Amino acid sequence: EPEVTQTPSHQVTQMGQEVILRCVPISNHLYFYWYRQILGQKVEFLVSFYNNEISEKSEIFDDQFSVERPDGSNFTLKIRSTKLEDSAMYFCANSQGENTEAFFGQGTRLTVV
Amino acid sequence: AQSVTQPDIHITVSEGASLELRCNYSYGATPYLFWYVQSPGQGLQLLLKYFSGDTLVQGIKGFEAEFKRSQSSFNLRKPSVHWSDAAEYFCAVAPREYGNKLVFGAGTILRVKS
């Protein structure tokens, strides 16, 4: 089965620091997504990205967040100045089309201290 | 606003017993419907999905789900549970105009006792 790989699996950062979460997508799967799950809460949609543009974003995805494909391959989520409430599991997902199956990575657990 | 309710936080079943996980959704029109499973340390794996057509959907690992429009439900079933099915199960919906903007339920943790 196709696999989405996320790095790191766990990151601890100081409040106010910038973090970058990385995702290696599946070849030829051109739609990208980030979701997050705060401990004990639901998995929430953050953003979708296609053709080097954000196509949808949620209210959570404010100016502190950004996404890009810096090298045309990896897909990243940057949080500019982390807050305690950013602590969560962040999932990258990837699909071939807009309405085809999204494959999820194993997640990055971000802990802000 | 769209919402998904999974009323059971935890369920414990004996190995070999049947399983039903409940899911209800609130949405203006019939959305796309999904069930995902997450094992510890793993990502979310798609078990099955409903887009249209036959309301009884077959998925991987012997799971099936039935869409009932009148009840706004999409319950997941398996006739005989295996110990390896122990995991967390998430029901999700997505609008038809954007099928991968998923709204998830809170999840149901399945424990299997031998």
Instruction: Give tens-digit pLDDT for A62-85.
Output: 999 999 998 878 999 999 999 999
Pairing type for strands A43-50 and B3-5 reads: unpaired
Instruction: Give tens-digit pLDDT for A84-106.
Output: 999 999 999 999 988 788 899 99
pLDDT score of A32: 94
pLDDT score of A27: 87
Closest Cα in chain B, distance from residue A106 (Å): 4
CB-nearest partner of B100 from A41, A102, A106: A102
pLDDT score of B29: 81
CB distance A45–B106 less than 8 Å?
no
H or E segment to which residue B45 belongs: strand B44-50
SS3 B91: strand
DSSP letters spanning A47-70:
EEEETTEEEEE-TT--TTEEEE-T
CB distance B90–A43 less than 8 Å?
yes
B99/A49: higher pLDDT:
A49
DSSP summary character for residue A86: G
CA angle A60-A62-A66, nearest 5°?
110
* Chain B: residue whose CA lies nearest to A94: B100
A32 and A49 Cβ atoms separated by less than 8 Å: yes
pLDDT tens per residue across all 114 residues of chain B: 789 999 999 999 999 999 999 999 998 788 899 999 998 878 899 999 998 899 999 999 999 999 999 999 999 999 999 999 999 999 999 887 777 889 999 999 999 998
The alpha carbon dihedral of B35, B39, B40, B45 has a sign of negative
CB-nearest partner of A33 from B51, B100, B107: B100
pLDDT score of A63: 95
Q: How many CB atoms lie within 10 A of CB A82?
A: 21
pLDDT score of B96: 78
CB-nearest partner of A42 from B49, B98, B105: B105
Residue B101: φ, ψ to 5°:
-90, 85
On chain A, the residues whose CB falls within 8 A of the CB of B43 are 4, 6, 91, 103-107
Instruction: Give tens-digit pLDDT for A6-44.
Output: 999 999 999 999 999 999 999 888 899 999 999 988 999
Mean pLDDT of chain A: 93
* Chain A: residue whose CA lies nearest to B96: A99
Instruction: Give tens-digit pLDDT for A50-61.
Output: 988 999 999 999
B96: left (phi over 0), alpha (psi -120 to 50) or beta: alpha
Pairing type for strands A5-7 and A19-24 reads: antiparallel
On chain B, the residues whose CB falls within 8 A of the CB of A100 are 99-100
Nearest to A102 by CA among B90, B81, B1: B90
